[in-house]
Amino acid sequence: MTATATPTPSSNAPAASTTSSQAKKSNKSRRMVLFTVIALIVAGIWFAVTKFQTPATIELSGLVQANEVRNASRFGGRVIKIYVKEGDTVKAGQTIIQFDAIDLKTKIADAQAALTEAQARRSLLLAGADRGALKQASAHVEQANQQLKILTKGASLEDISQAKTALSSAKLKLESAEAAYKNSNRMVDEGIISQQKFQEIGTSYEAAKSQYTAADASLKAINRGARPEDIRIAREQVNAARGQYQQLAQGAKRQDLQIADAAVDQAKSNLEALQSQLSEVTLKAPIGGVVSTLSVSEGELVAPGRPVLTIIDPKNLWADVYVPEGQLDKIQVNHSVKVVPVAIPDIWFDGKVSSISVKSEFVPDGEGTKGKDVDEQASFKVKVAVDGNKPAHDVKTGADVSNTFLRAGMTVHVELQQ
């Protein structure tokens, strides 16, 4: 029987070792491929998120505000006509309320007359005395000298006769001058004669009265005889008459002209003040907009300075919102924003940051940024302007929405994308 040789384990060891090494290499390759795939997936997700993610949004709350002007008359008065009602749209400069001006127009007429008179007096001073006034003043001097002569030397029959003739002549002149003066009052009112001519007639009338008084006193003095007191008075009358004649002959003094100029300036000032007041009886709209309140009725007597009308400009709107300091660097002037009315959340309006406060402020309730982390931060007021002429937009489609308006007093959310 022949013996058969059986292989021992030690004779197959190299083949087994080779097989195990190949298996390990295969497992390692698979792990590397898996890691590579996972890395590619993570990188793809990160790229998609960073490229297509929606930017973070800062949400703020505030109230819509508008330019509001309360209109009043400086001088007030009785309302005779109201041309608008609440809700009406008005243009800047449009007449809205008319006050009574009858009494004021009467005062203006009186002030105009006072100015004309003051100007006439000044003109007379500048022109100097006319020939008639100088002649009358000279006659007055001569008459006063004659009276003094009679009193000092005694009167003769001829002196008495002359005194009576002088008195009679002075009386006739006075009556004529008085009639002319009374007639000139009517003529100057009707515009037939000038104010200067009226003044000249008045001067003649006053001179005639003085001549008559002097002639009457002279005759009485002659009849009763001279007394020391009469002689003293006669000398004073002579001096006064001479002084008046010299003043007329020399013309107006500088002081008289200064007084006349001051009177003209005062009359002008009074007239201008009344004319300025007349412009206030017609109340006009200071801005274009909508009449929001009307607090007066026709026939009502209004006190000076009392507001009677409020006009709101619905076109230039804005909302004040408060941004925490941690988010302030993400906002700039002219930054476009969305303004969403709380009561109509399915629409939004175009807004724009018009100003940013340079100092932190107290945040009113309901006007801060949403979130717990911002409660302890300082906040800054940001003014967001909204053009009331532009239409709203649909939140879902972005299409324009007609017949929807943003109004003052509405609560809104303001969305600012970072």
Q: Quick one: 197 and 153 in the same domain?
A: yes
228 in a structural domain = yes
pLDDT digits (tens, 9 = 90+) for 318-344: 999 888 888 888 888 988 888 999 988
Q: Are residues 231 and 150 in the same domain?
A: yes
Shared-domain flag, residues 75 and 182: no
Structural domains in the chain (count) = 3
Q: Is residue 26 part of a domain?
A: no
Instruction: Looking at the structure, tell me whether residues 61 and 73 fall in a common domain.
Output: no
364 pLDDT band (50/70/90 cuts)?
Answer: low
| 294 in the same domain as 335 | no
Residues 136 and 166 both lie in one domain: yes
**Which of the four pLDDT bands, split at 50, 70 and 90, describes residue 54?**
very low
User: pLDDT-derived band of residue 397, with 50, 70 and 90 as boundaries?
Assistant: confident
Q: Is residue 372's pLDDT more than 80?
A: no
131 pLDDT above the threshold of 90? no
In a domain, 270, yes or no: no
Which amino acid is present at 131? Answer: R
Q: Which of 208, 233, 250 is the last residue of a domain?
A: 250
Q: Kindly list the strands in the beta sheet with 282-284, ordered across the sheet, starting from the edge strand earlier in the chain.
A: 282-284, 95-99, 77-82, 301-302
pLDDT above 70: percentage of residues in the chain: 70
Are 226 and 136 within one domain?
yes
Shortest CA distance to 394 belongs to which of 343, 338, 348? 348
Answer yes or no: do 169 and 197 share one domain: yes
In a domain, 365, yes or no: yes
- pTM of the complete model: 0.48
The domain that holds 344 is classified in CATH as 2.40.30.170
pLDDT greater than 80 at residue 27: no
Q: Kindly state whether residues 305 and 353 are assigned to the same domain.
A: no
What tens digit of pLDDT does each residue of 228-240 get? 666 777 778 888 8
Which amino acid type is present at position 244? Q
**Greatest Cα-to-Cα distance within the chain, rounded to the nearest angstrom:** 221
Q: Are 304 and 244 in the same domain?
A: no
In angstroms, the CA 71 to CA 83 distance is: 14
Place of tokens 């960073």: 50
- Tokens 């931060």 correspond to what residue? 377
In a domain, 49, yes or no: no
Report d(CA 363, CA 380) in Å as an integer: 8
Provide the domain limits for residue 235.
Answer: 129-250
Pair (289, 336) in one structural domain? no
Map 109-138 to HEC letters: HHHHHHHHHHHHHHHHHHHCCCHHHHHHHH
Same domain, 296 and 383: no
pLDDT on residue 279: 80
Of 63, 23, 96, 42, the closest CA to residue 292 belongs to 96
148 within domain boundaries: yes
Task: For residues 239-260, give the mean pLDDT.
Answer: 69
Cα-Cα-Cα-Cα torsion 155, 156, 158, 161, nearest 10 degrees, comes to 50
Is 369 within a domain?
yes
Residue 111 lies inside a defined structural domain of this protein: no
